[in-house]
Structure 1
């Protein structure tokens, strides 16, 4: 049973693009137990989890964060190599969204309530930051926590003169050890809110305060964290987060309201909503019905349209209408059935795009190198110092390991040699007798 008498915290683990799962979790909390979010003394996160934690701590609209995530997914899926394409700049998109959406006094609301996990590059130690002196400093901390080495780039961002990388590499679940901490993770394991897998799976991976089960579903989630799936899969993930959070609230008997909050968009005030469940009787707009009828008449997209309507009858009906609208608009673009989308899926066009991929990669890499030139010298010097310090530290540790021979091991070896050696007088030392049966020469 969750104890509401004392203070409690909420902690979000790092999960990459699968953070859309947290949108469903937070939506459920706000609808059925808003006091958990409003009364939380500390909201912490690592990697992409720090972004949703910042949204809650600052009080930003949840649908705005959901729209930003879906925009990054759309941009990543535009390239043949997804997020691995040199033209895809994940950190730039994150910075642009933060600079665009964070209010001017965001650092004031975040200080003391938001806790961000960072990993210091110099000594690989974990650092928890909860005080922010300015809006730019808050943005810089969030960028540092989201920077995964090599995946996001080579040169980490700087915070107060030090370079930091993804906080999940040293502490993926801040405040995990505290008693009243609600842990949320997109991977099935021992977190309070997480996907439920078969109870027969006893193999788990414990690292950096996170517990993850060994199963194929988690492996698939890890892949989706770095390579985002299609929008309809993201929508299903969001719905799963809502369902898992609702189960947690019911098990802990924390549900205070079965109805949405007053701030949530109602169906009457959302007449322009684009519904995922195209077969629903709640469709009123004639223009939407005409558009959907034309889309259904396209034979090439008929199968995908049915897949978009969800594989079960529930669809994403549990989510708030504001979140549902964002997710459905993202799926609508994917299944628009326009002439351009049809042309890009033709076999000759796809073959040509793969043939020109090496040229495209060479151009993108050259462009990034050109943009890197103003800071290239300083970054190379920093990489050289980092390599020198790492090699020096490794050599020092190896030398200490070699010179550090345990005294007990030495004494045990000497005592064993004393017990096994035969006792002989000095004048017998030269007359060593051979064992019986061996010839003497």
Structure 2
């Protein structure tokens, strides 16, 4: 366990993440993901892109890593995606919508996404952050802190359970489930 999480000197967040991704993805993951998985990345000049074509497994892993790269938090050098430096797509578009069909949006922050926590007792003040309307609330500030410094396993399991509840509520509201 690192005392300061990913900010602990000498801790390589991206290497650890790469190892975890490499361990779980099948060898032909890039073929399975092609045109089915759309990954949001931001170029070094601030342009958002959705990547859905992956030339090989390593290319898929690199794009996934870029989509997780928050400058300074994850390191200093952005990911090289086919000759273009890229960072987390959530910095410029945290809820991308595909041009065709219905895109169901998910957010860990209370706001106007299809599936998200619902904070009660707030007057409904929203701020627009990276093309996402996020409610101004203390609970959302706690969620930001938890996103950067993950809590205990028990709390993570509780958050997972709340996400399942939010998803079921959405499915019932849309009449996609009983």
Q: TM-score w.r.t. structure 2 length? A: 0.94
Question: Are 2:41 and 2:48, in contact at CA under 8 Å, matched by a contact in 1?
Answer: yes
Residue 29 (structure 2) pairs with residue 106 (structure 1) = yes
> Of the two, which has the highest radius of gyration?
1
Matching of residues 286-305 of structure 1 within 5 Å: none
Q: Secondary structure at the match of 1:220?
A: helix
After superposition, the C-alpha distances for 1:330-364 in whole angstroms (9 at most, x for unaligned) are xxxxxxxxxxxxxxxxxxxxxxxxxxxxxxxxxxx
Q: Secondary structure at the match of 1:248?
A: helix
Q: Give the C-alpha shift of residue 203 in structure 1.
A: 1.0
The structure with the largest helix share of the pair is 1
Q: Secondary structure at the match of 1:183?
A: coil
Question: Are 1:205 and 1:213, in contact at CA under 8 Å, matched by a contact in 2?
Answer: yes
CA–CA distance in 2 between the matches of 1:208 and 1:108? 30
Question: Are 2:13 and 2:75, in contact at CA under 8 Å, matched by a contact in 1?
Answer: no
Residue 51 (structure 2) pairs with residue 129 (structure 1) = yes
Corresponding residue to 1:91 among 8, 14, 19: 14
Q: Give the C-alpha shift of residue 108 in structure 1.
A: 0.6
Q: Secondary structure at the match of 1:103?
A: coil
Question: Are 1:201 and 1:213, in contact at CA under 8 Å, matched by a contact in 2?
Answer: no
- Check 1:179–1:103 CA distance in 2 against 1; reply closer, same or farther (3 A cut): closer
Question: Are 1:117 and 1:167, in contact at CA under 8 Å, matched by a contact in 2?
Answer: yes
The structure with the largest strand share of the pair is 2
Question: Are 1:118 and 1:145, in contact at CA under 8 Å, matched by a contact in 2?
Answer: yes
CA–CA distance in 2 between the matches of 1:177 and 1:244? 25
After superposition, the C-alpha distances for 1:32-82 in whole angstroms (9 at most, x for unaligned) are xxxxxxxxxxxxxxxxxxxxxxxxxxxxxxxxxxxxxxxxxxxxxx22222
**CA RMSD, 1 decimal:** 1.6
Structure 2, unmatched stretches of 5+, are none
4+ residue runs over 4 A deviation: 176-179
Corresponding residue to 2:41 among 100, 103, 118: 118
After superposition, the C-alpha distances for 1:121-168 in whole angstroms (9 at most, x for unaligned) are 0x2111111101111110111111111100111111101111111111
Q: What residue in structure 1 maps to residue 64 of structure 2?
A: 142
Corresponding residue to 2:174 among 252, 266, 282: 252
CA–CA distance in 2 between the matches of 1:199 and 1:133? 48
Q: Give the C-alpha shift of residue 179 in structure 1.
A: 6.7
Q: Give the C-alpha shift of residue 247 in structure 1.
A: 1.1
Question: Are 2:6 and 2:74, in contact at CA under 8 Å, matched by a contact in 1?
Answer: no
Residue 119 (structure 2) pairs with residue 201 (structure 1) = no
CA–CA distance in 2 between the matches of 1:104 and 1:91? 20
Residue 154 (structure 2) pairs with residue 228 (structure 1) = no
Q: What residue in structure 2 maps to residue 188 of structure 1?
A: 110
Matching of residues 350-429 of structure 1 within 5 Å: none
CA–CA distance in 1 between the matches of 2:122 and 2:79? 43
- Check 1:201–1:106 CA distance in 2 against 1; reply closer, same or farther (3 A cut): same
- Tell me: higher relative CO, structure 1 or 2? Use CA pairs within 8 A at least 6 residues apart: 1
CA–CA distance in 1 between the matches of 2:128 and 2:150? 25
Q: Give the C-alpha shift of residue 255 in structure 1.
A: 1.1
Corresponding residue to 1:172 among 82, 91, 94: 94
After superposition, the C-alpha distances for 1:371-395 in whole angstroms (9 at most, x for unaligned) are xxxxxxxxxxxxxxxxxxxxxxxxx
Q: Give the C-alpha shift of residue 200 in structure 1.
A: 4.2
Corresponding residue to 2:135 among 213, 229, 249: 213
- Check 1:253–1:83 CA distance in 2 against 1; reply closer, same or farther (3 A cut): same
- Check 1:200–1:227 CA distance in 2 against 1; reply closer, same or farther (3 A cut): closer
